[in-house]
Amino acid sequence: MEPLQGRKTSLKKNTPLLVLFITITLFLLATFPLYYPLLGYPLYLLHNHAKLSASPSSSSSYGDDYEEPLAIRPATDKCDIFSGEWVPNPQAPYYTNTTCWAIHEHQNCMKYGRPDAEFMKWRWKPDGCELPVFNPAQFLEIVRGKSMAFVGDSVSRNQMQSLICLLSRVEYPIDVSYTPDEHFKRWKYTTYNFTMATFWTPHLVKTNEADPDGPNHTGLYSLFLDQLNDDWITQIEEFDYVIISAGHWFLRPMKFYENQKLIGCHFCQIENVTDLTMYYGYRRAFRTAFRAINSLKNYKGITLLRTYAPSHFENGLWNKGGNCVRKRPFRSNETALEGANMELYMIQLEEFKIAEKLGQKRGLRFRLLDTTQAMLLRPDGHPSTYGHWPHENVTLYNDCVHWCLPGPIDTWSDFLLQMLKMEAIRSFEEKLSSFDRKMRF
């Protein structure tokens, strides 16, 4: 029942056949409105769950707290779900550190005595539509038989652990990791044959630590900007979804190599080595990563760029006493994306556009999981000093980079699910429009 999926090349050769397929598809759509043949899952899953859970006679397996707010307008591809405000959500959180074992030690803020709980009780409200709160059963149904990779640093792992906790209402995964290295975890949801994996690659490209001390005592890294980190690129070909991200590690001192030659650095303090800034390295790393994805022979997955999530150190740098002590989200008119946050975000968008265009030529889909604006507004969501006991000596003593679990990062799963729901419609529309273009010649 997936006549158009992944068959572009063979269809190109045979336009009359394509017309027949479209006709049959449209006929099926009209005849069996409850089943969306291109998507492989029933259409009711695409619809707002509100109708089901609002009816008192229906008892859903995941309880009433997933009831959605009365939708003024459900999110569609015409509404930018990434632009909006945080609004109170008394029903949150949807898990705790006692119901979910997947919370990373340093993000278990309640365990380490965080006194306030307000920061867990918000949901994202896009301008002009509603973003449904994550529905674990629906998510697992959509990803049945699929696989999802999280490629990046500890914030990427933070996202996956949040997703595991949100899904724990329905099922816990089993550990199917192929290595004892905690940086490369694989989890399988057996009932749904769904696999998730993390790949540790904070710089995306090949690196080594040139000097564990370095100019700012935060390590000096050598980045080989035209060579990928094999730990992930050799592994992702089989994945259906690849969520890629990078960010905070680029703030540290770095040396940049291209063609095996030192071409410059970021704050390396080495005589006669040009400071090319971190932006140079950030752009090159993404370009190399996207190019490599686009040249993977057997890759058919959807690549999602999870955009930069700003940190919120105030009154000092991360290693100079800066901290994040706010207790409420910002409203969107109280702050703005600027400085380094803005630069890094813009570089991501630019490199994404290039990759997307390249991808289109060979039928690969690139999507933006645009978390930047929402997270900019959450200075209250970080562990701060509640990621460890007060007497513990840890590198990131005041952690204003990662996100407490439960916490605002749970919203990334709301975004993700909404994107997966829209994806089916979006790729169908893209296929129709590319068909339409062909018909005009």
Q: Give CA–CA dist 426/209, Å, rounded.
A: 42
Kindly state the smallest distance separating residue 57's Cβ from ligand NAG, in Å: 34
Among 25, 147, 398, 411, binds ligand NAG (CB under 6 A): 147
Is 275 among the residues known to form the active site? no
Cβ closest to ligand NAG, residue 259 vs residue 333 = 333
Q: Is 235 near ligand NAG (CB under 6 A)?
A: no
Q: Is 298 near ligand NAG (CB under 6 A)?
A: no
Is 399 among the residues known to form the active site? yes
Q: Is 88 near ligand NAG (CB under 6 A)?
A: no
Cβ closest to ligand NAG, residue 16 vs residue 115 = 115
Is 153 among the residues known to form the active site? no
Among 79, 81, 100, 110, binds ligand NAG (CB under 6 A): 110
Please identify, among the stretches 122-130, 290-298, 330-338, 370-378, the one whose residues bind ligand NAG according to the rule CB under 6 A. 330-338
> From the CB of residue 35, how many other CB atoms can be counted at a distance below 10 Å?
15
Among residues 287, 426, 416, 419, which one has the least CA distance to residue 350?
287
Q: Is 62 near ligand NAG (CB under 6 A)?
A: no
The mark string for 374-393 relative to ligand NAG (x by CB under 6 A, - otherwise) is -------------------x
Q: Is 397 near ligand NAG (CB under 6 A)?
A: no
Please identify, among the stretches 37-45, 129-137, 145-153, 283-291, the one whose residues bind ligand NAG according to the rule CB under 6 A. 145-153
Provide the CA 66 distance to its chain's centre, in angstroms: 22
Provide the CA 433 distance to its chain's centre, in angstroms: 27
Cβ closest to ligand NAG, residue 60 vs residue 168 = 168
Kindly state the smallest distance separating residue 331's Cβ from ligand NAG, in Å: 5
Among 16, 271, 390, 437, binds ligand NAG (CB under 6 A): 271
Among 333, 436, 437, 441, binds ligand NAG (CB under 6 A): 333
Q: Which two tokens stand for residue 304?
A: 């999602």
Angle ∠(133,371,159) on CA atoms, nearest 5: 70
Catalytic positions are 154, 399, 402
